[in-house]
Amino acid sequence: MSLNVGVVGASGYAGGELVRLLSTHPKVSISMVTSRRNAGKPVSNEIPILKGRLNIKFEEPDPPKIIEKCDFVFMATPHAVSMELTPQILEVGIKVVDLSGDFRLKNPEIFKRYYGVDHKAPDLLDEAVYGLPEINREKIKNARLVACPGCFATPSIIALFPLVKEKLIREHVFIDAKTGSSGAGRTPSPADHHPERTNMVRPYSPGEHRHVPEIEQALAPHGKVKVTFVPHAVDMVRGILSTIYSITMENVDEQSVWKAFRSCYSGERFIRFIHWKSGGLYRFPNPKITLGTNYCDLGFKLLKDQKTLIIFSSIDNLIKGAAGQAIQNMNIMLGYEEDAGLDFPGIYPV
């Protein structure tokens, strides 16, 4: 018997990817897709690749109707919307995976600083489980509310977690991250107008991005980390490459770095190691190769004479950085196979 699943806020890129992936999931049935702007219109109008595959219409995000029609809910709403709707859904025993930033940060004061509003459900901040399966799988299994990590935070935390845990690097790390235009969302803006976005590399929010406290918070239980983070908008549609610069502790060699990665991620379904000595064109992680997948590719180069470790981590921002990870979390919460609905390779060449 299929589980009735609802996607609240599905007219954006991440929500659209969520609907697309769920439409082929072997264990679920999409019972409701909401959008205030598109209520009454066919879902395939906004997600054209689903024409002929999903014949339902957008509905208003009305909590009583969501509760009536859904056994499980994904929140793919803009920031500051989920914290109004989610408590009502949880109250009746329906589990929620939230793709927005509303429940990622534990401290309501830090939330207000980075998101610009007071949190309306602060009592849920401690309960919400940070949904990075490779680190928090056991907590996710028993959660009723999972907060999906941000797209930049996902590859950065995955890259740094083994190194911080094994105390191989010093406290301060520097992250240079490149992202495609889909990360800015579907609502047009002058900065993402095609003539402005094409043929450029544009840094923005240096040192002040809202994913900084998220990265530091996730790593804090394993060691103190200070992050200097600079994201860059680049001329591609999908994908993130995080290049992380760190200073190593004494006597760190290449073998100890590989050992740390393998001790944390050996057997992980969606983590792949890329060795720069392996040959071929793609000797380091590249978002072109993770495009359309739920994989995170990891690689590094150790400059031993400089005591510098450079880590590379790539994902598809809309899948492992959003919709795919959300489904991975649902699978864990419900006891499904973790790769259910996510077992597919990417497309090459693109």
Active-site residues: which are they?
Answer: 151
DSSP letter for each residue of 8-28: ES-SSHHHHHHHHHHTT-TTE
Q: Is there a contact between 17 and 322 (Cβ–Cβ < 8 Å)?
A: yes
Q: Is there a contact between 309 and 168 (Cβ–Cβ < 8 Å)?
A: yes
Residues 84, 346: Cα–Cα separation, whole Å: 36
Cis preceding-peptide flag for 349 (omega within 30 of 0): yes
Looking at the DSSP bridge assignments, the partners of residue 6 are 32, 73
Q: What do you get for the CA distance between the two ends of the chain, in Å?
A: 37
| Dihedral sign from CA coordinates of 70, 75, 77, 82 | positive
The tokens for 141 are 């299994």
Residues 48, 42: Cα–Cα separation, whole Å: 10
Q: Strands 3-8, 28-34: parallel, antiparallel or unpaired by DSSP?
A: parallel
SS3 per-residue string spanning 185-211: CCCCCHHHCHHHHCCCEEECCCCCCCH
Residues 288, 346: Cα–Cα separation, whole Å: 9
